[in-house]
Amino acid sequence: MTLIKYRLAYIFTSVILILLIGLGGILLAIVMQGIRKDTYQNLMNMAQQEAQYIQALIEERLIYVNSLAESDILLDDTISFDEKVAYFEKEAKATGYQVFAYADSNGEATFFTKDHQKVDVSLRSYFQEALKGNANVSDLLISYSTGELSLYYAVPVYKEREIVGAFFGRRDGTV
């Protein structure tokens, strides 16, 4: 009789243990799936917020470059090139740009630096978009002048309501 008691106790204990392990495994799988879903959702929310932040940053930089393009100093022939260089170098240093430049409608860009560097940017997409009237930021590009990764923020330049060129600022593309 005692042998049957022990066998029944052993069988019931085994069944209960198997049920607990099975239910624990199922519960663990359900909890892990919920954690994965929450983690994925949180990552998506963070990515969307970061994308909105970057978009706002780009728009702010384009507005700034556009305000420089609309300033009287850019197209005023009475102001010497050296005065323009001093003004734009000061602005670039204060705002994190490497350099500012103006490109005429043919794509000949003149950088506002002391060495009066000129580069043909007519094939660059940011220049072409600016000539179409669209403020834009380039993809990561290798700068013609420095050979380094750069981002260009370009806007159209208007004179008497006509686009006469593009104004752009170059920023370090590795940031």
- Give the pLDDT confidence of 20-47 residue by residue, as tens digits: 999 999 999 999 999 999 999 999 999 9
Half-sphere exposure of 93 (CA within 13 A, CB side): 8
Q: Strand, helix or coil at 121?
A: coil
Amino acid at 112: F
pLDDT < 50: residue spans in the chain: none
What was the pLDDT predicted at 1? 62
Instruction: State how far the alpha carbon of 138 is from the alpha carbons of 27, 59, 129, 169, in Å.
Output: 50, 13, 10, 11
72/89 Cα distance (integer angstroms): 16
Amino acid at 84: K
111/96 Cα distance (integer angstroms): 16
Q: Count of CB atoms within 10 A of residue 134's CB?
A: 13
> Exposed, middle or buried by CB within 10 Å (0-12, 13-18, 19+), for 135?
buried
Partners of residue 145 on adjacent β-strands: none
Q: Count of CB atoms within 10 A of residue 112's CB?
A: 23
What was the pLDDT predicted at 115? 87
What was the pLDDT predicted at 8? 84
Closest CA to 64 of 34, 91, 37: 91
Q: Strand, helix or coil at 160?
A: coil
4/9 Cα distance (integer angstroms): 8
